[in-house]
Structure 1
Amino acid sequence: MNSPSTATSPATAGTAGTIKATSSASGASIEHLPVNLFASVMGLSGLALAWRSASKTFGADAAIADAAGVLAILVFLALAAGYLYKLARYPDAVRREFTHPVASNFFGTITIAILLLSAVLGRYSASLQQAVWTAGVAVTIALAFLSVHRLLRGNAAPAGAVPVWLIPGVATLDIAVTGASMPMPWAHEVNLLAVAVGSVLAMAYFVMIFSRLVHGDPLPAGMTPSLLILMAPFEVGFLAYVNLVQQVDLFAAVLFYFGLFLFAVLALRVFRPAVPFAASWWAVSFPLAALASAALKYADATGSAVLTALAAGLLAFLSVTIAVLLVRTLHALFSGKLLRT
């Protein structure tokens, strides 16, 4: 991964102007903690699940997956504590984020993080996994409902159709990705509901976003990393569908290969030194993790040596990408740039 140059405002670049606080203070403050940082939990959890799959495919040490999973849990707890403090201390800042037509979509990163963490926790406690997954289901469906309700009020600016629109809707697909094997008697119908909602919303939003990208102005440089979200409906859809039907069939293959094609196209636009570093760079992490996990599952189903090598390459690229993002984020945090307007 090419290391992007450091941005002046890593906390807000890439959220199409994720709402800047009105406080006159110019120093670092929890008031400026961006909600899109929860995408880091998505990426770390996705990394853990991908390496868990790799332990079956390649015999990789399970300790790698465990370490990534523990880190994901710790990062989530730290971010949750920070954002709850922000809510208590600066409720207007949170309200502005939640009502912003672009930044509000990043609240979906919280619900996806909860769902993915349920799968991570499954290694330690089945009952805890089920409880966290159930909570994740409730908030994910509620957020998807709210996001559609807001859009149907009308008068949405065409230029506002950006890749982050996909986050709350596609989040419902992660319900089936993480909960297809849940033992509760109602879980199967909830998974079907989630796949129905997520797949149809993904199709509708994808068409609108693709049209805007073709006919409208290019995305601001800070939002360029979010382009990789466009492949998420296909790779996450692959994982959700395969988990439901318990086989890799022709339809699953179509989903996987189109997502792979989009990755090849979009990676050339995203991974460039000219794209500044910001918290929004974490938007690339979970789509990459979904692609790597889908490649591992597809390679296992086909037994192809070429696809197995491809899956190994994607897993390595994912691991390096997240390592770079983690180092750059910690540098921005300790230098005071991450929590500054």
Structure 2
Amino acid sequence: MSKDHLIRTTSLVQLPINLFGAVMGLSGLALAWRLSSQVFGTHAMIGDGIGILAVAVFLVLFVSYLVKAIRYTDQVKAEFNHPIAGHFFGTFTIAILLLSSVIAPYSESIGQAVWIAGTVLTLALSYTVVSRLLRGRQEAAHAVPAWLIPGVAALDIAVSGGTMPFGWAHELNLLSLAIGSFVALVFFTLIVYRLIHHDPLPLGLTPSLIILIAPFEVGFLGYTTFTGRIDNFASALFYFGLFLFAVLFVKVFRKSVPFSASWWAVSFPMAALSNAALKYADFTGSWMTKAIAVLLLVLLTAVLAVLFVRTLVILFNGKLLGLP
């Protein structure tokens, strides 16, 4: 075995689970451009191309993390049991759920199989996380936005599973909405309390603040997909998430926050906001909501392009995986 190969293999121990957030963001961007083609008539190939990239990134990360799990089982267990990092395993299950929607137009059967796999993993993770937290003796400092990820994952079951033809899908989507909504409500309250009454988040976790908008925008998408309508409750979810994003944007996007893989935490919440804005603009038909949707889509595309390029840079210079 060559020295270079040994270094590359050993470096996998540093591969963070939260890097699956890249798949979430790219999948959400692909779905947003696909929706944009329906609302604004943009070219469908844009969404198709980004969707292919999302699938490719997922396969690379899945194989790499599988190798890490086999070679460094204890480290993966420690990551899963960590009071903060463990919640980022939800990025893996959400990525699977979103990919089911990306794949579905090309193969309904594969899309359905991927959705079922993502649903099983998401419900298992939600159960595990809630059970773990209810053991007690949780430190207030551990109540960070990442706690919301498993709850948001449950909401995503209904977002991606709204068109599933199975007779049991309706009740399962309802179950997922119930779990996701109430878990997100409780955790959101705890996290906001911690942010108000305790020290600010470490700089490395600052990008994760954008996750706070996810329950509202994913909740909007899940609720409207499940009910088949946009009512005042759905509109309130969308607008509060939009307001919260405006508040958090200036707190997160600062030069003082160093770049790392944790920045991918902003991608999926922003993608959910963009998809919600496009769906809402299509519903209202007003110039104002359409302008908001266009602005958010352009912003999302620009942010993900920068994140993708900068991630490749730190990957090849060895900083991402801690290479010597």
**TM range, normalised to the smaller chain?**
over 0.9
Give yes or no for contact 1:28–1:336 (8 Å, CA) kept in 2: no
> Do residues 290 (structure 1) and 272 (structure 2) align?
yes
What are the equivalent positions in structure 2 for 1:209-224 lying under 5 Å apart?
Answer: 209-224=191-206
- Provide the residue aligned with 2:25 in structure 1: 43
What are the equivalent positions in structure 2 for 1:1-341 lying under 5 Å apart?
Answer: 29-340=11-322
1:173-223 CA deviation, whole Å, 9 max, x = no partner? 000110111000000000000000000001000000000000000000010
Give yes or no for contact 1:48–1:69 (8 Å, CA) kept in 2: yes
The residue identity in structure 2 corresponding to 1:108 is G
> 1:28 offset after TM fit, Å?
7.0
Secondary structure at the aligned position of 1:285 is classed as: helix
Distance in 2 separating the partners of 1:329 and 1:170: 25
Secondary structure at the aligned position of 1:49 is classed as: helix
Distance in 2 separating the partners of 1:68 and 1:93: 32
CA RMSD of aligned residues (A): 1.2
Distance in 1 separating the partners of 2:254 and 2:14: 27
1:265-289 CA deviation, whole Å, 9 max, x = no partner? 0001001111100101000000000
- Provide the residue aligned with 1:21 in structure 2: none
The structure richer in helix per residue is 2
Instruction: Give aligned pairs, total.
Output: 317
1:120-171 CA deviation, whole Å, 9 max, x = no partner? 0012100001100001000000000000000000000011100000001111
The residue identity in structure 2 corresponding to 1:244 is F
The residue identity in structure 2 corresponding to 1:339 is L
Instruction: Provide the TM-score with structure 2 as the length reference.
Output: 0.96
Distance in 2 separating the partners of 1:331 and 1:93: 25
Distance in 1 separating the partners of 2:163 and 2:243: 29
Distance in 1 separating the partners of 2:228 and 2:72: 46
Distance in 2 separating the partners of 1:270 and 1:28: 33
Give yes or no for contact 1:53–1:293 (8 Å, CA) kept in 2: yes
Secondary structure at the aligned position of 1:171 is classed as: helix
Structure 2: runs of 5+ lacking an equivalent: 1-6
Instruction: Provide the TM-score with structure 1 as the length reference.
Output: 0.92
Distance in 2 separating the partners of 1:272 and 1:62: 33
Distance in 1 separating the partners of 2:255 and 2:271: 22
Give yes or no for contact 1:44–1:68 (8 Å, CA) kept in 2: yes
- Provide the residue aligned with 1:3 in structure 2: none
Distance in 2 separating the partners of 1:98 and 1:302: 43
Secondary structure at the aligned position of 1:326 is classed as: helix
1:211-238 CA deviation, whole Å, 9 max, x = no partner? 0000000000010000000000000000
> 1:338 offset after TM fit, Å?
0.4
1:40-92 CA deviation, whole Å, 9 max, x = no partner? 00000000000010000110111110011000000000000000000111111
Structure 1: runs of 5+ lacking an equivalent: 1-24
The residue identity in structure 2 corresponding to 1:210 is V
Give yes or no for contact 1:28–1:337 (8 Å, CA) kept in 2: no
Greater RCO, CA 8 A, separation 6+: 1
Give yes or no for contact 1:28–1:339 (8 Å, CA) kept in 2: no
Give % identity: 60
Secondary structure at the aligned position of 2:29 is classed as: helix
Give 4+ residue runs of structure 1 displaced > 6 Å after superposition: none
Give yes or no for contact 1:28–1:340 (8 Å, CA) kept in 2: no
Give yes or no for contact 1:121–1:128 (8 Å, CA) kept in 2: yes
